[in-house]
Structure 1
Amino acid sequence: MVACLVLSGCGEHRPGESPARDLAAAEAEILKDDFGHRDRVRDAEYIAATEVPNHLDNSDSPIRRVLLGWSGRTVGGEQATIDVQFVVTLTDQQASSYGDHNNSAGQVKRCYRYFLELYRYTTYDEIECPSTATAPVPTASPFPDMPDDGRERLTAALRTATPDTLASRVRAAFPEKHVTVDTVTHQGALVAAVGVPAERDCIVLVRTPGGAIESPAYDRIWLEPGEMGCRTGLYVSPPR
Protein backbone atom coordinates (compact mmCIF):
# COMPACT_ATOMS: atom_id res chain seq x y z
CA MET A 1 0.00 0.00 0.00
CA VAL A 2 1.30 3.44 -0.89
CA ALA A 3 0.73 6.26 1.58
CA CYS A 4 -0.40 9.51 -0.03
CA LEU A 5 0.67 12.94 1.12
CA VAL A 6 -2.33 15.26 1.34
CA LEU A 7 -0.48 18.23 -0.07
CA SER A 8 1.70 16.64 -2.72
CA GLY A 9 -0.62 13.94 -4.06
CA CYS A 10 0.11 10.32 -4.98
CA GLY A 11 2.29 8.79 -7.63
CA GLU A 12 3.59 10.68 -10.61
CA HIS A 13 2.55 14.25 -11.31
CA ARG A 14 0.22 14.76 -14.24
CA PRO A 15 1.71 16.23 -17.46
CA GLY A 16 2.57 19.88 -17.00
CA GLU A 17 2.18 19.63 -13.23
CA SER A 18 5.83 19.64 -12.21
CA PRO A 19 6.77 23.08 -13.61
CA ALA A 20 3.39 24.45 -12.50
CA ARG A 21 3.97 23.21 -8.95
CA ASP A 22 7.40 24.80 -8.91
CA LEU A 23 6.00 28.10 -10.13
CA ALA A 24 3.31 28.07 -7.45
CA ALA A 25 5.89 27.38 -4.73
CA ALA A 26 8.16 30.13 -6.02
CA GLU A 27 5.29 32.62 -6.11
CA ALA A 28 4.32 31.66 -2.55
CA GLU A 29 7.83 32.46 -1.37
CA ILE A 30 7.77 35.80 -3.21
CA LEU A 31 4.60 36.77 -1.35
CA LYS A 32 6.22 35.75 1.94
CA ASP A 33 9.14 38.07 1.16
CA ASP A 34 6.72 40.84 0.15
CA PHE A 35 4.98 40.58 3.53
CA GLY A 36 8.44 40.80 5.06
CA HIS A 37 9.08 42.31 8.49
CA ARG A 38 5.98 43.74 10.14
CA ASP A 39 6.48 47.04 11.95
CA ARG A 40 2.96 48.46 12.02
CA VAL A 41 -0.18 47.49 13.93
CA ARG A 42 -2.67 46.23 11.34
CA ASP A 43 -5.51 43.74 11.26
CA ALA A 44 -5.29 40.81 8.87
CA GLU A 45 -8.16 42.09 6.73
CA TYR A 46 -6.35 45.37 6.07
CA ILE A 47 -3.16 43.52 5.08
CA ALA A 48 -5.13 41.18 2.83
CA ALA A 49 -6.88 44.10 1.14
CA THR A 50 -3.73 46.12 0.51
CA GLU A 51 -0.99 43.53 0.01
CA VAL A 52 -2.59 40.48 -1.65
CA PRO A 53 -3.86 41.39 -5.12
CA ASN A 54 -5.96 38.58 -6.58
CA HIS A 55 -4.23 38.95 -9.94
CA LEU A 56 -0.58 39.64 -10.62
CA ASP A 57 0.34 42.87 -12.40
CA ASN A 58 1.44 40.97 -15.51
CA SER A 59 -1.78 40.04 -17.32
CA ASP A 60 0.12 37.42 -19.34
CA SER A 61 1.27 35.62 -16.21
CA PRO A 62 0.09 32.00 -15.85
CA ILE A 63 -0.14 32.55 -12.08
CA ARG A 64 -3.23 33.74 -10.24
CA ARG A 65 -3.59 34.46 -6.53
CA VAL A 66 -6.86 33.69 -4.78
CA LEU A 67 -7.40 35.02 -1.28
CA LEU A 68 -9.02 32.32 0.87
CA GLY A 69 -9.37 34.01 4.26
CA TRP A 70 -7.73 35.90 7.11
CA SER A 71 -7.87 36.34 10.88
CA GLY A 72 -6.19 38.17 13.75
CA ARG A 73 -3.98 41.24 13.81
CA THR A 74 -0.37 42.27 14.29
CA VAL A 75 -0.38 43.84 17.75
CA GLY A 76 1.43 42.89 20.94
CA GLY A 77 1.81 39.12 21.09
CA GLU A 78 -1.08 38.47 18.70
CA GLN A 79 -0.73 36.93 15.26
CA ALA A 80 -2.41 37.59 11.93
CA THR A 81 -2.91 34.75 9.46
CA ILE A 82 -3.72 35.01 5.76
CA ASP A 83 -4.55 32.04 3.51
CA VAL A 84 -3.77 32.30 -0.19
CA GLN A 85 -4.23 29.89 -3.08
CA PHE A 86 -1.89 30.02 -6.08
CA VAL A 87 -3.39 28.76 -9.32
CA VAL A 88 -0.89 28.09 -12.11
CA THR A 89 -2.22 27.31 -15.57
CA LEU A 90 0.34 26.47 -18.26
CA THR A 91 -0.25 26.12 -21.98
CA ASP A 92 1.80 23.58 -23.95
CA GLN A 93 4.10 26.36 -25.10
CA GLN A 94 4.57 27.76 -21.60
CA ALA A 95 5.13 24.31 -20.07
CA SER A 96 7.78 23.36 -22.62
CA SER A 97 9.71 26.53 -21.83
CA TYR A 98 10.37 25.34 -18.26
CA GLY A 99 13.33 23.00 -18.48
CA ASP A 100 11.91 19.79 -19.95
CA HIS A 101 10.55 20.15 -23.49
CA ASN A 102 8.36 17.10 -22.83
CA ASN A 103 6.27 19.08 -20.33
CA SER A 104 2.71 19.73 -21.50
CA ALA A 105 -0.22 21.91 -20.52
CA GLY A 106 -1.60 21.59 -17.02
CA GLN A 107 -3.01 23.38 -13.98
CA VAL A 108 -1.97 23.22 -10.34
CA LYS A 109 -3.47 24.74 -7.20
CA ARG A 110 -1.35 25.11 -4.07
CA CYS A 111 -2.41 26.82 -0.86
CA TYR A 112 -0.39 28.49 1.88
CA ARG A 113 -1.00 30.07 5.27
CA TYR A 114 1.07 33.13 6.18
CA PHE A 115 1.84 34.02 9.79
CA LEU A 116 2.46 37.70 10.55
CA GLU A 117 3.53 39.12 13.91
CA LEU A 118 4.60 42.58 15.00
CA TYR A 119 8.38 43.11 14.79
CA ARG A 120 8.93 39.68 13.23
CA TYR A 121 9.53 38.39 9.73
CA THR A 122 6.65 36.61 8.03
CA THR A 123 6.65 32.81 7.93
CA TYR A 124 4.39 30.43 6.03
CA ASP A 125 3.31 26.79 5.70
CA GLU A 126 1.64 24.91 2.89
CA ILE A 127 -1.90 23.83 3.74
CA GLU A 128 -4.49 21.63 2.07
CA CYS A 129 -6.52 23.52 -0.52
CA PRO A 130 -10.29 23.61 -0.01
CA SER A 131 -12.42 21.66 -2.49
CA THR A 132 -13.93 24.95 -3.64
CA ALA A 133 -12.27 28.32 -3.27
CA THR A 134 -14.50 31.34 -2.88
CA ALA A 135 -12.57 34.58 -2.91
CA PRO A 136 -13.80 36.91 -0.14
CA VAL A 137 -13.33 40.63 -0.67
CA PRO A 138 -11.48 42.24 2.25
CA THR A 139 -12.01 45.87 3.21
CA ALA A 140 -9.13 48.18 4.08
CA SER A 141 -10.77 50.12 6.91
CA PRO A 142 -8.96 53.39 7.67
CA PHE A 143 -6.52 53.20 10.55
CA PRO A 144 -5.78 56.10 12.92
CA ASP A 145 -3.22 58.42 11.37
CA MET A 146 -2.18 62.06 11.38
CA PRO A 147 -4.79 64.45 9.93
CA ASP A 148 -3.86 65.68 6.45
CA ASP A 149 -4.01 69.28 7.68
CA GLY A 150 -2.00 68.57 10.83
CA ARG A 151 0.77 71.04 10.06
CA GLU A 152 -1.72 73.81 9.31
CA ARG A 153 -3.64 73.10 12.53
CA LEU A 154 -0.49 73.22 14.65
CA THR A 155 0.75 76.39 12.97
CA ALA A 156 -2.57 78.15 13.69
CA ALA A 157 -2.54 77.01 17.32
CA LEU A 158 1.01 78.25 17.88
CA ARG A 159 0.30 81.65 16.34
CA THR A 160 -2.39 82.46 18.93
CA ALA A 161 -0.99 80.62 21.95
CA THR A 162 0.72 82.06 25.01
CA PRO A 163 2.92 80.14 27.45
CA ASP A 164 -0.13 79.68 29.68
CA THR A 165 -2.50 78.53 26.91
CA LEU A 166 -0.03 76.57 24.78
CA ALA A 167 -1.03 73.08 25.93
CA SER A 168 -4.78 73.71 25.77
CA ARG A 169 -4.63 75.43 22.37
CA VAL A 170 -2.68 72.59 20.79
CA ARG A 171 -4.89 69.92 22.36
CA ALA A 172 -7.99 71.74 21.12
CA ALA A 173 -6.51 71.75 17.62
CA PHE A 174 -6.09 67.96 17.81
CA PRO A 175 -9.15 66.49 19.57
CA GLU A 176 -8.48 63.04 18.05
CA LYS A 177 -7.70 60.64 20.90
CA HIS A 178 -5.07 58.76 18.91
CA VAL A 179 -3.00 61.93 18.40
CA THR A 180 -0.49 62.63 21.18
CA VAL A 181 0.36 66.19 22.21
CA ASP A 182 3.49 67.42 24.00
CA THR A 183 4.26 71.10 24.60
CA VAL A 184 6.84 73.19 26.42
CA THR A 185 8.14 76.74 26.65
CA HIS A 186 11.90 76.78 26.06
CA GLN A 187 14.06 79.91 26.20
CA GLY A 188 11.12 82.09 25.23
CA ALA A 189 10.03 79.83 22.36
CA LEU A 190 6.80 77.84 22.25
CA VAL A 191 7.46 74.23 21.25
CA ALA A 192 4.86 71.63 20.32
CA ALA A 193 5.07 68.05 19.10
CA VAL A 194 1.99 66.17 17.90
CA GLY A 195 1.99 62.66 16.52
CA VAL A 196 0.62 59.17 16.09
CA PRO A 197 3.23 56.92 17.74
CA ALA A 198 2.06 53.66 16.15
CA GLU A 199 2.61 55.15 12.69
CA ARG A 200 5.84 57.03 13.53
CA ASP A 201 4.08 60.23 12.44
CA CYS A 202 5.28 63.38 14.16
CA ILE A 203 5.13 67.13 13.58
CA VAL A 204 7.40 69.37 15.64
CA LEU A 205 6.97 73.14 15.30
CA VAL A 206 8.52 76.03 17.19
CA ARG A 207 7.30 79.61 17.53
CA THR A 208 10.40 81.67 18.13
CA PRO A 209 10.44 84.69 20.48
CA GLY A 210 10.24 86.82 17.33
CA GLY A 211 7.00 85.10 16.23
CA ALA A 212 8.36 83.01 13.35
CA ILE A 213 7.12 79.42 12.98
CA GLU A 214 9.97 76.99 12.40
CA SER A 215 10.11 73.26 11.71
CA PRO A 216 13.31 71.90 13.28
CA ALA A 217 14.96 68.87 11.73
CA TYR A 218 15.38 65.67 13.73
CA ASP A 219 16.47 62.09 13.11
CA ARG A 220 13.37 59.96 12.49
CA ILE A 221 15.09 56.99 14.10
CA TRP A 222 14.06 58.57 17.42
CA LEU A 223 10.41 57.86 16.57
CA GLU A 224 10.98 54.11 16.60
CA PRO A 225 9.66 51.98 19.50
CA GLY A 226 11.88 52.23 22.56
CA GLU A 227 13.31 55.60 21.53
CA MET A 228 12.27 59.12 22.58
CA GLY A 229 9.16 59.17 20.39
CA CYS A 230 7.21 62.23 19.32
CA ARG A 231 8.21 64.61 22.12
CA THR A 232 9.36 68.20 22.38
CA GLY A 233 12.71 66.75 23.44
CA LEU A 234 13.40 66.17 19.74
CA TYR A 235 14.04 69.93 19.66
CA VAL A 236 14.78 70.88 23.28
CA SER A 237 17.16 68.03 24.14
CA PRO A 238 17.73 65.87 21.05
CA PRO A 239 19.42 62.51 21.63
CA ARG A 240 23.11 62.37 20.78
Structure 2
Amino acid sequence: MNRTRATAGPKPPSRHRPVRWALAVLLLASAGCGRGFGEESGDALARDAAAAEAKQLNTELGHRNRVRDAGSIAAAEIVQQAQDATSDAGATVRREALAWSGRTAGNERATVDVRFVVTVEERPPVSVGGASNTAGEATVCYRYEFQLYRYTTYREIDCPSGAAPPPPTAAPVPRVPEDGQKRLTAVLRTATPQTLAGAVRAAFPQGWITVDTTVHEGALVAAVGVPAERDCLLLVRTPAGKIESPGYDRIWLEPGETGCRTGLYVSPPR
Protein backbone atom coordinates (compact mmCIF):
# COMPACT_ATOMS: atom_id res chain seq x y z
CA MET A 1 0.00 0.00 0.00
CA ASN A 2 1.33 3.44 -0.94
CA ARG A 3 1.88 5.84 1.89
CA THR A 4 2.14 9.54 1.49
CA ARG A 5 4.70 11.33 3.57
CA ALA A 6 4.18 15.00 4.30
CA THR A 7 7.30 17.05 3.73
CA ALA A 8 7.99 20.37 5.35
CA GLY A 9 8.67 23.38 3.21
CA PRO A 10 12.23 24.71 2.88
CA LYS A 11 13.55 26.47 5.92
CA PRO A 12 15.42 29.77 5.57
CA PRO A 13 19.19 29.48 6.04
CA SER A 14 20.49 30.33 9.47
CA ARG A 15 24.03 31.18 10.38
CA HIS A 16 23.44 29.58 13.79
CA ARG A 17 21.74 26.40 12.66
CA PRO A 18 25.10 24.51 12.76
CA VAL A 19 25.52 25.63 16.37
CA ARG A 20 22.13 24.30 17.42
CA TRP A 21 22.67 21.10 15.49
CA ALA A 22 26.06 20.54 17.09
CA LEU A 23 24.68 21.17 20.55
CA ALA A 24 21.77 18.84 20.01
CA VAL A 25 24.09 16.07 18.81
CA LEU A 26 26.45 16.52 21.73
CA LEU A 27 23.74 16.65 24.35
CA LEU A 28 21.68 13.78 22.99
CA ALA A 29 24.58 11.50 22.07
CA SER A 30 24.30 9.65 25.36
CA ALA A 31 21.02 8.16 24.18
CA GLY A 32 22.85 6.37 21.36
CA CYS A 33 25.86 4.13 21.14
CA GLY A 34 28.51 6.82 21.77
CA ARG A 35 28.39 7.37 25.52
CA GLY A 36 26.03 4.68 26.67
CA PHE A 37 23.30 5.05 29.25
CA GLY A 38 23.54 6.81 32.55
CA GLU A 39 24.00 10.33 33.84
CA GLU A 40 26.44 12.51 31.89
CA SER A 41 28.40 15.44 33.23
CA GLY A 42 26.85 18.73 32.18
CA ASP A 43 30.25 20.41 32.48
CA ALA A 44 31.77 17.93 30.03
CA LEU A 45 28.92 18.43 27.58
CA ALA A 46 29.34 22.19 27.87
CA ARG A 47 33.05 21.95 27.08
CA ASP A 48 32.29 19.79 24.04
CA ALA A 49 29.69 22.29 22.88
CA ALA A 50 32.16 25.18 23.23
CA ALA A 51 34.72 23.30 21.16
CA ALA A 52 32.12 22.59 18.48
CA GLU A 53 31.08 26.25 18.32
CA ALA A 54 34.71 27.40 18.14
CA LYS A 55 35.37 25.07 15.23
CA GLN A 56 32.22 26.23 13.47
CA LEU A 57 33.24 29.88 13.84
CA ASN A 58 36.66 29.10 12.37
CA THR A 59 34.95 27.59 9.34
CA GLU A 60 32.72 30.64 8.94
CA LEU A 61 35.67 33.04 9.13
CA GLY A 62 37.26 31.05 6.32
CA HIS A 63 39.66 32.36 3.69
CA ARG A 64 40.77 35.98 3.94
CA ASN A 65 40.88 37.92 0.67
CA ARG A 66 40.35 41.50 1.85
CA VAL A 67 42.52 43.91 3.83
CA ARG A 68 40.84 44.35 7.21
CA ASP A 69 41.94 45.40 10.69
CA ALA A 70 41.26 43.02 13.56
CA GLY A 71 38.67 45.33 15.12
CA SER A 72 36.65 45.32 11.91
CA ILE A 73 36.79 41.54 11.70
CA ALA A 74 35.69 41.23 15.31
CA ALA A 75 32.89 43.77 14.89
CA ALA A 76 31.45 42.59 11.57
CA GLU A 77 32.07 38.85 11.65
CA ILE A 78 32.23 37.82 15.29
CA VAL A 79 30.28 40.29 17.44
CA GLN A 80 27.63 41.42 14.95
CA GLN A 81 26.94 37.87 13.79
CA ALA A 82 26.85 36.46 17.33
CA GLN A 83 23.71 35.74 19.25
CA ASP A 84 22.92 33.37 22.06
CA ALA A 85 22.07 30.02 20.48
CA THR A 86 19.82 27.71 22.48
CA SER A 87 19.40 24.12 21.38
CA ASP A 88 16.36 21.92 21.86
CA ALA A 89 18.49 19.93 24.26
CA GLY A 90 18.71 22.88 26.66
CA ALA A 91 22.15 24.41 26.12
CA THR A 92 23.00 28.06 25.48
CA VAL A 93 26.20 29.34 23.86
CA ARG A 94 27.36 32.94 24.12
CA ARG A 95 30.47 34.25 22.42
CA GLU A 96 32.35 37.45 23.23
CA ALA A 97 35.28 39.25 21.59
CA LEU A 98 37.93 39.85 24.25
CA ALA A 99 40.91 41.35 22.39
CA TRP A 100 41.89 42.25 18.83
CA SER A 101 45.06 43.52 17.17
CA GLY A 102 46.81 43.78 13.81
CA ARG A 103 45.43 43.67 10.28
CA THR A 104 45.42 41.49 7.19
CA ALA A 105 47.70 43.43 4.85
CA GLY A 106 50.75 42.05 3.06
CA ASN A 107 52.48 39.64 5.43
CA GLU A 108 50.88 41.15 8.52
CA ARG A 109 48.60 39.15 10.79
CA ALA A 110 45.48 39.99 12.74
CA THR A 111 44.31 38.20 15.88
CA VAL A 112 41.01 38.14 17.73
CA ASP A 113 40.50 36.41 21.08
CA VAL A 114 37.01 35.00 21.61
CA ARG A 115 35.37 33.64 24.76
CA PHE A 116 32.65 31.00 24.53
CA VAL A 117 30.35 30.69 27.55
CA VAL A 118 28.14 27.59 27.53
CA THR A 119 25.44 26.56 29.99
CA VAL A 120 23.69 23.18 29.93
CA GLU A 121 20.38 22.52 31.59
CA GLU A 122 19.83 19.45 33.72
CA ARG A 123 18.14 16.66 31.76
CA PRO A 124 16.52 13.91 33.83
CA PRO A 125 16.02 10.42 32.37
CA VAL A 126 12.75 9.86 30.54
CA SER A 127 12.74 6.19 31.53
CA VAL A 128 14.42 3.87 34.04
CA GLY A 129 18.10 3.67 33.10
CA GLY A 130 17.63 6.25 30.36
CA ALA A 131 20.14 8.88 29.36
CA SER A 132 20.40 12.04 31.43
CA ASN A 133 22.83 14.77 32.33
CA THR A 134 23.50 17.14 35.17
CA ALA A 135 23.40 20.89 34.79
CA GLY A 136 26.76 22.27 33.74
CA GLU A 137 28.71 25.15 32.33
CA ALA A 138 32.01 25.88 30.64
CA THR A 139 33.99 28.96 29.67
CA VAL A 140 36.59 28.38 26.98
CA CYS A 141 38.68 30.89 24.99
CA TYR A 142 40.29 30.68 21.56
CA ARG A 143 42.61 32.90 19.54
CA TYR A 144 41.80 33.27 15.85
CA GLU A 145 44.59 34.32 13.51
CA PHE A 146 44.07 35.91 10.09
CA GLN A 147 46.46 36.52 7.21
CA LEU A 148 45.73 37.79 3.71
CA TYR A 149 45.10 34.96 1.22
CA ARG A 150 45.25 32.33 3.97
CA TYR A 151 42.58 30.37 5.81
CA THR A 152 41.77 31.36 9.36
CA THR A 153 43.44 29.31 12.09
CA TYR A 154 42.62 29.05 15.78
CA ARG A 155 43.89 27.59 19.04
CA GLU A 156 42.71 27.39 22.61
CA ILE A 157 44.14 29.92 25.07
CA ASP A 158 43.72 30.67 28.77
CA CYS A 159 40.67 32.78 29.50
CA PRO A 160 41.26 36.13 31.18
CA SER A 161 39.13 37.11 34.13
CA GLY A 162 36.66 39.93 34.11
CA ALA A 163 33.97 41.15 31.76
CA ALA A 164 34.45 41.49 28.03
CA PRO A 165 35.43 44.99 26.83
CA PRO A 166 33.00 47.13 24.82
CA PRO A 167 32.71 45.65 21.32
CA PRO A 168 34.83 47.23 18.58
CA THR A 169 33.49 49.27 15.69
CA ALA A 170 34.14 48.21 12.12
CA ALA A 171 36.03 50.71 9.98
CA PRO A 172 34.09 51.92 6.92
CA VAL A 173 34.75 49.80 3.84
CA PRO A 174 35.74 51.95 0.82
CA ARG A 175 33.23 51.64 -2.00
CA VAL A 176 32.19 53.30 -5.22
CA PRO A 177 29.43 55.71 -4.09
CA GLU A 178 25.89 54.36 -4.22
CA ASP A 179 25.02 56.97 -6.86
CA GLY A 180 28.16 56.11 -8.84
CA GLN A 181 26.32 54.89 -11.91
CA LYS A 182 24.20 58.03 -11.98
CA ARG A 183 27.30 60.24 -11.66
CA LEU A 184 29.22 58.41 -14.38
CA THR A 185 26.24 58.38 -16.73
CA ALA A 186 25.90 62.14 -16.38
CA VAL A 187 29.59 62.63 -17.16
CA LEU A 188 29.50 60.39 -20.23
CA ARG A 189 26.48 62.17 -21.66
CA THR A 190 28.36 65.48 -21.93
CA ALA A 191 32.04 64.47 -22.12
CA THR A 192 34.22 64.72 -25.20
CA PRO A 193 37.31 62.60 -25.92
CA GLN A 194 39.40 65.53 -24.67
CA THR A 195 37.49 66.15 -21.42
CA LEU A 196 36.60 62.55 -20.52
CA ALA A 197 39.45 61.72 -18.12
CA GLY A 198 39.28 64.98 -16.18
CA ALA A 199 35.50 64.97 -15.96
CA VAL A 200 35.37 61.41 -14.59
CA ARG A 201 38.05 62.13 -11.99
CA ALA A 202 36.22 65.29 -10.93
CA ALA A 203 33.07 63.22 -10.39
CA PHE A 204 35.01 60.69 -8.28
CA PRO A 205 37.67 62.69 -6.36
CA GLN A 206 38.17 60.17 -3.54
CA GLY A 207 41.77 58.95 -3.34
CA TRP A 208 40.80 55.30 -2.89
CA ILE A 209 38.84 55.27 -6.17
CA THR A 210 40.73 54.46 -9.37
CA VAL A 211 39.70 55.99 -12.70
CA ASP A 212 40.59 54.62 -16.13
CA THR A 213 39.23 56.09 -19.37
CA THR A 214 39.77 55.67 -23.09
CA VAL A 215 38.22 56.25 -26.49
CA HIS A 216 37.72 53.07 -28.52
CA GLU A 217 36.34 53.06 -32.04
CA GLY A 218 34.36 56.19 -31.36
CA ALA A 219 33.03 54.97 -27.97
CA LEU A 220 33.87 56.69 -24.68
CA VAL A 221 34.81 54.09 -22.05
CA ALA A 222 35.21 54.69 -18.31
CA ALA A 223 36.05 52.30 -15.48
CA VAL A 224 35.74 53.51 -11.87
CA GLY A 225 36.56 51.21 -8.98
CA VAL A 226 38.06 50.29 -5.63
CA PRO A 227 40.55 47.53 -6.50
CA ALA A 228 41.06 46.27 -2.94
CA GLU A 229 37.33 45.54 -2.67
CA ARG A 230 36.88 44.21 -6.26
CA ASP A 231 34.33 47.00 -6.67
CA CYS A 232 34.06 48.20 -10.27
CA LEU A 233 31.73 50.34 -12.37
CA LEU A 234 32.22 50.09 -16.15
CA LEU A 235 30.17 52.23 -18.55
CA VAL A 236 30.39 52.96 -22.27
CA ARG A 237 28.90 55.72 -24.41
CA THR A 238 28.49 54.24 -27.86
CA PRO A 239 29.06 56.32 -31.04
CA ALA A 240 25.26 56.56 -31.26
CA GLY A 241 25.18 58.21 -27.81
CA LYS A 242 23.68 55.28 -25.88
CA ILE A 243 25.02 54.59 -22.38
CA GLU A 244 25.70 50.89 -21.85
CA SER A 245 26.96 48.76 -18.97
CA PRO A 246 28.89 45.90 -20.61
CA GLY A 247 29.10 42.66 -18.67
CA TYR A 248 32.37 41.03 -17.67
CA ASP A 249 33.57 38.08 -15.61
CA ARG A 250 34.26 39.36 -12.09
CA ILE A 251 37.19 36.96 -11.79
CA TRP A 252 39.15 39.55 -13.77
CA LEU A 253 38.90 41.95 -10.82
CA GLU A 254 41.02 39.65 -8.65
CA PRO A 255 44.66 40.57 -7.83
CA GLY A 256 47.00 39.80 -10.71
CA GLU A 257 44.24 39.95 -13.31
CA THR A 258 42.99 42.83 -15.47
CA GLY A 259 41.50 44.77 -12.58
CA CYS A 260 38.96 47.56 -12.90
CA ARG A 261 40.19 48.98 -16.19
CA THR A 262 38.79 49.85 -19.59
CA GLY A 263 40.47 46.70 -20.91
CA LEU A 264 37.48 44.78 -19.55
CA TYR A 265 35.63 46.26 -22.54
CA VAL A 266 38.32 47.18 -25.05
CA SER A 267 40.30 43.93 -24.89
CA PRO A 268 38.43 41.51 -22.62
CA PRO A 269 40.44 38.49 -21.40
CA ARG A 270 39.71 35.22 -23.16
Cα 1:159/1:95, change in 2 over 3 Å: farther
Tell me the amino acid that sits aligned with residue 159 of structure 1.
R
The answer to whether 1:109 aligns with 2:109 is no
Partner of 2:36: none
1:173 Cα offset (Å): 0.6
In structure 2, the CA distance between the partners of 1:187 and 1:94, relative to structure 1 (3 Å rule), is farther
Match for 1:56: what amino acid? Q
| Corresponding residue of 1:125 | 155
Change (3 A) 1:218 1:94: farther
Q: How far does residue 133 in structure 1 lie from its aligned partner after superposition?
A: 3.3
Alpha-carbon shift at residue 94 of structure 1 (Å): 8.7
For residues 125 and 217 of structure 1, do their structure 2 counterparts lie closer, same or farther at Cα, with a shift above 3 Å needed? same
Name the counterpart of 1:142: 172
User: Could you say which residue in structure 1 is the equivalent of 2:16?
Assistant: none
Task: Note the C-alpha offset of 1:131.
Answer: 2.2
Map 1:50-199 → 2, pairs under 5 A = 50-53=76-79, 55-56=82-83, 58=85, 62-93=92-123, 101-199=131-229
Q: Distance in 2 between matches of 1:57 and 1:124?
A: 21
Matched residue SS, 1:195: strand
For each residue in 1:127-163, what CA deviation from the matched residue of structure 2 results, as whole angstroms up to 9, or x when unmatched?
Answer: 0001223232111121211111111111111111101
Alpha-carbon contact 1:222-1:228 (below 8 Å) kept: yes
Task: Count how many residue pairs are aligned between Structure 1 and Structure 2.
Answer: 224
State the secondary structure of the residue aligned to 1:42. coil
CA distance in 2, matches of 1:150, 1:58: 40
- In 2, Cα distance between equivalents of 1:217 and 1:33: 32
Moved over 3 A (4+): 57-61
The residue that corresponds to 1:211 in the other structure is 241
Q: Secondary structure at the match of 2:114?
A: strand
Following the alignment from structure 1 to structure 2, what is the Cα–Cα distance between the partners of residues 94 and 105? 10
Match for residue 41 of structure 1?
Answer: 67
Residues 150 and 95 of structure 1: is their aligned pair in 2 closer, same or farther, counting only changes over 3 Å?
A: farther
CA shift digits 1:94-132 (9 cap, x unpaired):
999xxx935311111000000011111000010000122
Distance 1:148 1:226 in 2: 26
* TM-score normalised by the chain length of structure 1: 0.88
Task: Tell me the percent identity.
Answer: 63
Structure 1 CA distance for aligned equivalents of residues 142 and 166 of structure 2:
16
Code of the aligned partner of 2:133: N
Matches within 5 A, 1:211-230: 211-230=241-260
Q: Deviation string for 1:218-240 (max 9, x for gaps)?
A: 11110001100000000000000
Q: Distance in 2 between matches of 1:199 and 1:94?
A: 53
| Deviation (angstroms), 1:56 | 2.4
What stretches of structure 2 of length at least 5 have no aligned partner?
1-39
Q: Does 1:18 find its partner at 2:44?
A: yes
- 1:155-212 deviations in Å (ceiling 9; x for gaps): 1111111011110011111000100000000001100001000010111111111111
**Unpaired segments ≥5 residues, structure 1:** 1-13
- Amino acid in the other structure paired with 2:230: R
CA distance in 2, matches of 1:165, 1:175: 15
Q: TM-score normalised to the size of structure 2?
A: 0.79
1:79–1:117 contact (8 Å) kept in structure 2: yes
**CA RMSD after TM alignment:** 2.0
